[in-house]
Copies of this chain bind each other. A is one copy, B any other.
Amino acid sequence: MEKRYLFTPGPTPVPPAVLAAGAEPIVHHRGADFREIYASVLGRLKEVFRTEADVLLFTASGSGAMESAAANLCAPGDRVTVVSHGSFGERWLAICEQHQLDVHAIRYEWGERPDPAEVGAAVREQGTGIVFCQHSDTSTGVVSDVQAIKESVGDATLVVDAVSSLGAVPLETEAWGIDVVVSGSQKALMAPPGLAMVSVPGHVLAQVKPSRSFYFDWPRNKKAQDVLDAAFTPAVSTIRSLDVALGLLLEQGLAAAFERHIRLGRATRAGVKAMGLELFSPDDDTAAVVTAVRAPDGIDADELLRHLRDRHGVTLAPGQQHLKGKIFRIGHIGWFDIFDIASALAAVELSLTELGAEIERGLAVPAAFEAFERPAVGA
C-alpha cells in the first residue's frame, strides 16, 4: 500500500468532507432533497463567479462548457477571434473550427502574456464581435489580464475560460463586464471532475443563435434551472460534493483563497529557484495557479515525472504538446497548503538527485517557507 500524492493543477486533491458528501445515498434529481442542494450550489456559484447572472451547470468536463459558448453564441461562418497562448487557447481554436466559424487567431508564444492593447487592436481590425480567451492557461501557468482585455475589446462579447483560475485568482465577472465565464469543478473549486459551468447574463442570452447543441443548449438549460429542474439527469453526487466544496471556499472567503494562492505560488517559485531550476511560468504573483518549471539540462521532464510517480508515488503534471519532456508543472490551486508545496519540492529535489542532476540539497524547502510567510497584500 503505497501512499500517493497528487500535486497537479486538475483534477486537484479534494477535501475529505467533499469526498464524503459524494458518497451519500443517491437522491432523485426531481425531488425536494435535490432541489435544496441545487438551489444552494447555484447560489454559491453566483457568489464565486462574482455575478448576479445565471450560472448554468452542466454534467460535463470544462471543454463541454467551452463548446457550449461556441454552439450558442455563433452560427457557422460567424467571424470570431481566439486569443491563444497555450494548450487551452488551441482548444478554443479547435472548438471554433469544428463549429465552422470564421476563426481569426491571435497567437502568442506559450508562456507569454497576451497584450490587451494588441488584442483590442486586432479584434477591431478583424471586425469580430466575439472573442474567446483564457484567464489561466494551465499548460503554461500564465494568467492573463482579462479585465484589461475586456476594456480593450470594448463591445465585443468576451468569453473567458476560467476553468483553472476561478476561485484561485480574482475574477470580477460583473464588475469587469466580462460577458461569459466558463469554469469546472475539479480545479480551484476543490470538487471531483464531472461538472462544468458557464455564466450567461441577460444581455448575452439576448444575443444567442439557435443552439447547435441539444445537450448544451443555453436557453433549454436555463429554463430548467430557473425552476430548479435540471434539463437532464445531473451528476447528483458530484453536485453534492461541489456544494460542500463551495461552502468551504466561501466560508474561508474568496479574498483569503486568493491570498493563499499568491503565497503558494511565491513559495513554489522560491523553492524551484533555490534548487537552481529555471521557471517557465512568469516569475511574478500573477502565476498563482500552477508553476511550470524547465527540466534541467540532460533531464527529460517526462522521465522525471515517471520517476516521481513510480519511485515515490508523487504525481506532477507534464508539459503539453511541444513542451512535452521540456517542462513539468506543480499545481497549487484548490485544497493546497504550504506543506504540500514542501512535499512536492522535496520530491522533485530528491528525484532529480536520483536521476543524476546536480542539485544542491536542502535549499528548496526553507526558501519556500520563507516566501510563503511574507503576506501577499500589496504584492
Contacts and interface: CB of A to CB of B under 8 A. Distances in A.
Interface of A: 4, 6, 8, 10-14, 19-20, 22-33, 59-64, 67, 70, 94-95, 98-99, 184, 186, 192-194, 210-217, 231-238, 309-310, 315, 317-318
Given A192-B235, A193-B236, A32 B215 contact: no
Contacts of A10: 233
A315 B31 contact: yes
Contacts of A6: 25-28
Secondary structure dominating the interface of A? loop
A64 B98 contact: no
Nearest to A5: B25
B192 A237 contact: yes
A186 B234 CA distance: 10
B14 A25 contact: yes
Given A214-B94, A309-B32, A236 B11 contact: yes
Contacts of A236: 11, 192-193
Given A4-B25, A4-B33, A14-B25, A64 B233 contact: no
A208 to B, nearest CB: 13
Contacts of A216: 215
A193 B13 contact: no
Q: How many copies make up the complex?
A: 2
A74 to B, nearest CB: 13
Interface centre among A10, A12, A214, A231 (most CB of B within 10 A): A214
B214 A99 contact: yes
Contacts of A20: 23
A193 B237 CA distance: 8
A315 B28 contact: yes
10 contacts: A6-B27, A11-B236, A27-B315, A60-B215, A61-B235, A67-B214, A98-B214, A194-B194, A194-B234, A194-B238
Contact of A235 (B14, B235, B318): B235
Given A32-B309, A63-B215, A194 B237 contact: yes
Given A194-B59, A214-B99, A232 B24 contact: no
A14 B10 CA distance: 27
A257 to B, nearest CB: 19
A207 B359 CA distance: 55
Interface centre among A27, A59, A63, A67 (most CB of B within 10 A): A59
